[in-house]
Amino acid sequence: MIEDQNDILDSRIKLHDRHRFEIKLDIDLDAAARSSYEVETYFFIPRSLNVGPHNYSKEKFYNSSQRYIRFRTPKMSLGKICDPGLKTSPLNRVREDLGKVLSGAGDKALADNICHELRLLGCIVRGEIRDYVKVFVEGLATYNQAVPAAQRRLFVGEGLENFLNDLKGLETALSSLKAEISDPAVPVKVRETAAFFDEYVSLILEEYLTSLIEALRANPEARARFAEVEKGVLGIVTAQNRYRQAMKYPSVLVPGSSNEVIIYRRGVLKKFISSVLYLKAEFSEWEGLTQVFFGLAAGAAMLFAVLVTVYFQARYAMNSLPFVLAVVISYIFKDRIKDWLKLLFSKSLTRWISDRKIDILDAASGKRLGLLKEGATFIPGRDVPPEVSRLRRIDNITSVDEEGKPERVFKYEKEIILYPEVILKAHERRRDLNDIMRFNIRELVDQADDSAVDYQYVDPASGEVRTAACSRVYHMNMLLKYAYTGRDAQPVVHYERIRIVLNKDGIVRLEEVRVA
């Protein structure tokens, strides 16, 4: 994963799977009535992949992309979640509303709110455990005698012990909550949501704590120092699969089997729990202004065909061969002119109009929280901004490097306009946003050569001719320009460049290229 941080936007680019990479922006909202940010992405695609306007349309690009806008998971420590005095804790809100249900209040809105808080609690628990484990795994990787003992105890030792205590406290609190929810007076929807939440938390504990045990065991010195911690964490991990089996949950690991159920089930549970953070997007496939220009293109093409027809009709009989040929030729040219003008408008007008407009809505209330506009097109090299071109060439070794790696440039730009005041009024805990885009490169490598090629050479020791298998890769460079405009109306601009190493089978790796 490649990370970059600045004051407003925290960007992370990582490999999602063999064919997809993900760009994730963490956006900190200010208190302005309106804020916006723009992202321009330039894909420098090797011409040897034979990808261009003739076979890679903007529709293909959008079909290869997935985009999500969601609230960032609220930060709340495990200890605070269980603190009865913290009113914003989802656990406390569930208990409060559950008390009303058990006292006889049975309206649907109350049940929906409990389910909502349970899902939010699942997101917070997952985020906290994941972040804690990540810090400890990184700390344990460098835990040795070279670090002063006081610092080692403070950073890893006390932290691990406190983390284990917080986990035990969380388990106790959730066990107590489960007993309350099992009461027959609790609506079925709440009990079913609680069961999903319970199964999800069990999987989270098993997954992340297994990574922690692995990190402890990889460092003998740390393992000896934290033997009790390892024992406690191991007890929690080993109990999870047995617990899910006893509860008759589907996500039970069976050694020796395909275990497709546990992976499928984990995905279902994750989507169900995390959907509480996602915003609703309503797509408008084309903006009206775009349609106006495309209509003009069709009108101009039709005008050409009509004028040709009128001209030849005045000189030849309608049943004559010259008139028939003229009509056929004008029809052919009419379609070509229309397509050419549409392509011209798409290239020239992306700067002012967008291909698609997406309203960002609050999934719960339906309120409009913002607007996303996006456009994509191939552009000639001369239209690439000078600063972008400079950063693309920043790692060239010689002045003729570019001639050996000709490229086509595909530009994707989006603008997101947000209304922080509306968001902050509606949400007490969910404020900042994540903008996530996943891009599939499968269409780009469709015409790539085989990923391995035989290379003959002479062994200098024996003089024999030998064959070595060499990997064949392509470098697709991606340059991103982020521009954020907030309360002071002064845009903050930031650049980032990533080299995506590809082959016929997909993405080999991502490499960051320093631009500053």
- DSSP of 61-106: HHHTEEEEEEEPPPP--HHHHT-TT-TT-HHHHHHHHHHHHHTT--
Residue 142 has pLDDT above 90, yes or no: no
**Whole-angstrom Cα distance, residue 404 to residue 502?**
18
Rounded to an integer, the average pLDDT of 164-188 is 92
In angstroms, the CA 110 to CA 310 distance is 72
Higher pLDDT, 323 or 444: 444
Asked whether residue 1 is domain-assigned, the answer is no
Q: What is the pLDDT of residue 50?
A: 92
How would residue 315 be classed by pLDDT, with cut points 50, 70 and 90? confident
State the pLDDT at residue 273.
Answer: 94
- 480 within domain boundaries: yes
Of 240, 258, 278, which marks where a domain is finished?
278
Q: Is the pLDDT of residue 13 over 50?
A: yes
168 with 299, same domain: the answer is: no
Q: Is the pLDDT of residue 330 over 60?
A: yes
Q: How much is the pLDDT for 333?
A: 67
Does the pLDDT at position 341 exceed 80?
Answer: no
Quickly count: other Cβ atoms within 10 Å of residue 189's Cβ.
Answer: 13
Burial (CB count <10 Å: 0-12, 13-18, 19+), residue 170: buried
pLDDT category, 154, cuts 50, 70, 90?
Answer: very low
Residue 350 has pLDDT above 50, yes or no: no
Residues 340 and 366 in one domain: no
Domain check: are 247 and 309 in the same one? no
Q: In this structure, what DSSP letter does residue 147 have?
A: S
Q: Domain span at residue 157?
A: 78-278
The closest of 232, 244, 133 to 195, measured between CA atoms, is 244
Q: Reply yes or no on whether the pLDDT at 198 is more than 90.
A: yes
Bridge partners for 455 per DSSP? 468
Q: Are residues 191 and 161 in the same domain?
A: yes
pLDDT at 6: 45
The yes-or-no verdict on residue 354 having pLDDT over 60 is yes
Identify the residue with better confidence: 276 or 28.
Answer: 276
List 468's β-bridge partners, or say none.
455
Nearest to 71 by CA among 20, 31, 113, 127: 127
Q: What pLDDT, on a 0 to 100 scale, did the predictor assign at position 7?
A: 44
Q: How far is CA 122 from the centre of its chain?
A: 20
Q: What residue has token string 């009461």?
A: 183
Q: Can you give the pLDDT at residue 380?
A: 87
Q: What percent of the chain has pLDDT over 70?
A: 81
**Residue 474 pLDDT greater than 60, yes or no:** yes
How far the first Cα of the chain sits from its last, in Å, is 19
- Number of separate domains in the chain: 3
Q: How confident is the model at residue 119 (pLDDT cuts 50, 70, 90)?
A: very high
Task: Flag whether pLDDT at 343 surpasses 70.
Answer: no
Packing angle, helices 188-217 and 260-274, rounded to 10: 120
139 vs 378 pLDDT, higher one: 378
pLDDT digit string, tens, across residues 367-411: 888 888 888 889 888 888 899 999 998 887 655 556 557 899 999
Largest distance between two CA atoms of the chain: 102
**Domain-ending residue, one of 243, 278, 313:** 278
Say whether both 254 and 168 belong to one domain. yes
The CA-atom distances, in angstroms, between 157 and each of 151, 171, 195, 257 are 9, 21, 34, 38
Mean pLDDT of the chain: 83
Do residue 419 and residue 490 come from a single domain?
Answer: yes
Highest-scoring range by mean pLDDT, 101-115, 258-272, 485-499: 258-272
Is residue 221 within a helix (H) or strand (E), and if so which, with residue range?
Answer: helix 220-225
Task: Assess whether 274 and 322 both reside in one domain.
Answer: no
Please give the Cα distance from 189 to 191 (Å, whole number): 6
- Residue 454 in any domain: the answer is yes
**pLDDT confidence of 340, banded at 50, 70, 90?**
low
Q: Is there a domain that residue 8 lies in?
A: no
Q: Mean of the pLDDT values across residues 88-96?
A: 92
Kindly tell me the burial class for residue 262, based on how many C-beta atoms sit within 10 Å of its own C-beta (0-12, 13-18, 19 or more): buried
Query: What angle, 0 to 180 degrees and rounded to 10, lies between the N-to-C axes of helices 188-217 and 158-181?
Result: 160
| pLDDT surpasses 60 at 348 | no
Are residues 122 and 264 both part of a single domain? yes
Q: What is the pLDDT of residues 456-469, one digit of tens each?
A: 999 999 999 999 99
Last residue of a domain, one of 278, 308, 326: 278
Q: Which residues of 274-312 are buried (b: 16+ CB within 10 A; e: fewer)?
A: bebbebeeeeeeebeebeebbeebeeebeeebeebbeeb
Sign of the Cα torsion 55, 58, 61, 62 reads negative
pLDDT digits (tens, 9 = 90+) for 259-277: 889 999 999 999 999 999 9
| Confidence band, pLDDT 50/70/90 cuts, at residue 8 | very low
pLDDT for the residue numbered 358: 83
Shared domain check, 369 and 293: no
Is the pLDDT at 225 greater than 90? The verdict is: no
Residue 302 and residue 201 share a domain: no
Averaged pLDDT for residues 281-299: 61
Residues 227 and 326 in one domain: no
Q: Please check whether residue 62 lies inside any domain of the structure.
A: no
Which residue carries 């989006």 as its tokens?
414
Note whether 498 and 418 are same-domain residues. Answer: yes
